[in-house]
Amino acid sequence: MNFDFNYMISLFPKIIEYLPIVLYMGTLSFILAIIIGLLLAIIMNYRVPVIHQILLVLISYFRGVPTLIQIFIFYFGLPQLYPSLSSIEAISAVIFALSMKNAAYLSEVFRSSFLAVDKGQFEACESVNMTKWQGLRTVILPQVFRIAIPSTGNYYIMMIKETSLAFTIGVVDMLARAKLESAVTYKFLEAYLVVGIIYWAITVILSYL
Q: Model pTM? A: 0.85
- The confidence score (pLDDT) of residue 71 equals 93
Phi, psi of 130 (to 5 degrees): -75, 145
Diameter of the chain by CA atoms?
74
- The confidence score (pLDDT) of residue 95 equals 94
- The confidence score (pLDDT) of residue 112 equals 81
Q: What is the pLDDT along the chain (209 residues), one digit of tens a residue?
A: 588 888 889 999 999 999 999 999 999 999 999 999 988 888 887 777 788 888 889 889 999 999 999 999 989 988 888 877 777 889 999 999 999 999 999 988 888 877 777 777 777 777 777 777 777 777 777 777 788 777 888 889 999 999 999 989 988 899 989 999 888 888 889 999 999 999 999 999 988 88
Q: Compute CA distances 138 → 22, 120, 149, whole Å.
A: 34, 15, 17
52 touches 41 (CB < 8 A): no
Q: Compute CA distances 161 → 42, 65, 68, 157, whole Å.
A: 28, 17, 13, 6
Q: Which are the contacts of 197, defined by CB distance < 8 A and separation ≥ 6?
A: none
H helix intervals, the chain:
5-16, 19-46, 51-64, 67-72, 78-81, 90-116, 119-127, 132-135, 141-162, 174-185, 188-208
